[in-house]
Chain A
Amino acid sequence: MGQTISEKIISNHIGKKVYAGELVVSEVDGCMASDTTGPLTIKAFHEMGGKKVFSPDKCALIIDHAAPSPNERIANLHKMMRDFAKEQGMRLFEIGEGICHQVMVENAYVKPGNIFIGADSHTPTYGALNAFACGVGSTDLAATMMTGKIWLKVPQTIQINCSGKLQEGVTAKDLILFLVGKVTVSGATYQAIEFTGETFERLSLASRMTVANMSSEMGAKTGIVHPKGLKLDYDFEAITPDEDANYIKTFDFDVAGLEPQVSAPESPDNVHNISNYEGTKINYAFIGTCCNGRLEDLNIAAEILKGKKIHPDVRMVIAPASQSVLLDAISNGTMSTLIEAGASLITSGCGPCVGTHQGVPADGEVVISAANRNFRGRMGNPNSNIYLGAPSTVAASALEGQIVNPKKYLV
């Protein structure tokens, strides 16, 4: 019987063929926790009798969710993480080094064919690399750090097949928002997603990460982009599904005519063509996060904002996904363009997206954000409204003070 990508990766790890529905205990190739989940992970690790992490080279801690620390309470949690990393001889990514998922990929903690466990719900981002990656909570992660293993149910797989070339000005973010709208926020719960078809073959690694990242917004356990067309700076053995693999459901979409998409408050699957919301006044524009804080995202925003000024009633915040992204954006002039247009640069990290600090909206304010979630209160204030869009949409909307189709600035 044929296997999906997830079934193949898990089978490779446990040394026998397994299929959806089977329970397995597998070794993992790496794991990580952030400063939201890390302190509880360390606490649970000690409580369960952990002395040494299974392999210091494969475990990492990242301070990104409230970085730099906004108060003494969080400063002490960060210190707890630094002390633990030092004691264990494992890498800790400091404030500003970047968002967990970005630094895990940049630093090759995760590679094609891996099983990777992260204490962050957007861990499926690594599906862009043809890896099987799941988010877990702190106690699960503590157990993985201690044993080097995870128990999991081999998931059923939903296939999402897209054909057609995206129009000029329509990006991977628009594509994945469209798909979240179709599959819904619970449409893939307990399941894996395989993104396949010619549309995905053309996508860069950064765009594939945007797609895989939001598979968690469909409830998926993991979301893997078919490796065809994937270019990495090292050789890898691609894991592809068998032709007779068994899918629980297949979606087929022709996305050639797709227009830019927005997700309206207050659920990521409340997705519409941008024309439905054009003219909506905004106060705050945000580009960053593990979904859309990469160089290509900043570049497209800069292309739109070059030589212009953002609307006087709008403030714009930029959080590059990592220090490496920031350095590249400085070298190619993107960062000066964004700042000259009136944007405010903050430390690479998750703060505004998760409502911890650095950019909480006021009561009644409207945000256009390149993040992946717009739940009520997500950015720290339940009395604000968050629209999600592509970085191009965020930049164009910042210029006009209202939600606007970015296409006119890109052709």
Chain B
Amino acid sequence: MSGVQTTIKAKAHVYGDHIDTDRIIPGKYTKTLDMTTLANHVLEDLDPNFNKIVQQGDILVAGINFGCGSSREQAPLALKKSGVSVVIAKDFARIFFRNAINIGLPVLEIADHNIQKGAELDIDLKSGIVKDLTVDVTYTATKLPDIMINILSEGGLVNYLTKYGDYSL
């Protein structure tokens, strides 16, 4: 993966199920091309402190149906700009999942994870192996389709299409 960092060791911020795109970035903030504005309001209706405590490289962990709701790409963009390096969830809403890959934010689906707040995680994106160093448990994420791996490997769809000009399966 030339376009993205493939190993990540960082702290997990853990939230629950069905975190919708309005909670990731409320609609009233979406009409901007200024990513800092987005990052300043990320997750504010879920956890007003998130923007203050998130550190560059941190990992966001959630339950089922993460990113349900709107097609707004501002949701993964806000997370990425705030410093989140990867999102792990039990499963993702479809459009959020695609958007995250398209903008180069790695997403890992681990249906049975039991990662707790503050856990130290060691992630290998290539293999999808996630080690929870706090409790010494290892998980393997669901494998992405090749086309998604290829898009993510280039750092997102803009780079992918700039390089190849079209999709290839």
Instruction: Give chain A's interface residues, CB within 8 Å of chain B.
Output: 23-25, 35-37, 39-40, 43-44, 47-49, 65-66, 73-74, 77, 118-121, 123, 135-140, 142-143, 146-147, 149, 151, 153, 185-186, 189-190, 219, 221, 267, 354-356, 373, 375-378, 380, 382
Contact = CB atoms under 8 A, between A and B. Distances in A.
14 contacts: A24-B169, A36-B31, A36-B70, A40-B73, A43-B33, A73-B32, A121-B71, A138-B99, A139-B103, A140-B98, A186-B18, A186-B65, A190-B94, A356-B28
B27 A137 contact: no
B68 interface: yes
The 5 closest A-B CB pairs, nearest first, are A137-B73, A137-B99, A186-B65, A354-B27, A139-B102
A65 B158 contact: no
Contact of A149 (B69, B103, B167): B167
Contacts of A35: 31
Contact of A39 (B33, B45, B64, B162): B33
Contacts of A356: 27-28, 31
B137 interface: no
B22 interface: yes
Interface residues of B, number: 43
Contacts of B71: 37, 118-121, 123, 135-137
A48 B162 contact: yes
A25 B70 CA distance: 24
B169 A40 contact: no
B20 interface: yes
A49 B161 contact: yes
Interface in B92-116: 92-95, 98-99, 102-103
Contacts of A77: 31-33
Main secondary structure of the interface of B (DSSP, over half): loop
Given A219-B94, A356-B28, A377-B22, A44 B158 contact: yes
Nearest to B19: A375
A65 B145 CA distance: 33
Contacts of A43: 33
Contact of B73 (A49, A138, A149, A376): A138
B51 interface: no
A37 B28 contact: no
Contacts of B169: 23-25, 151
Nearest to B37: A73
B23 A377 contact: yes
A43 B156 CA distance: 14
B65 A380 contact: no
Contacts of B45: 376-377, 382
Given A139-B156, A140-B99, A186-B93, A147 B68 contact: no
Nearest to B91: A189
Contacts of B70: 36, 120-121, 354
Contacts of B145: 23, 153
Contacts of B162: 47-49
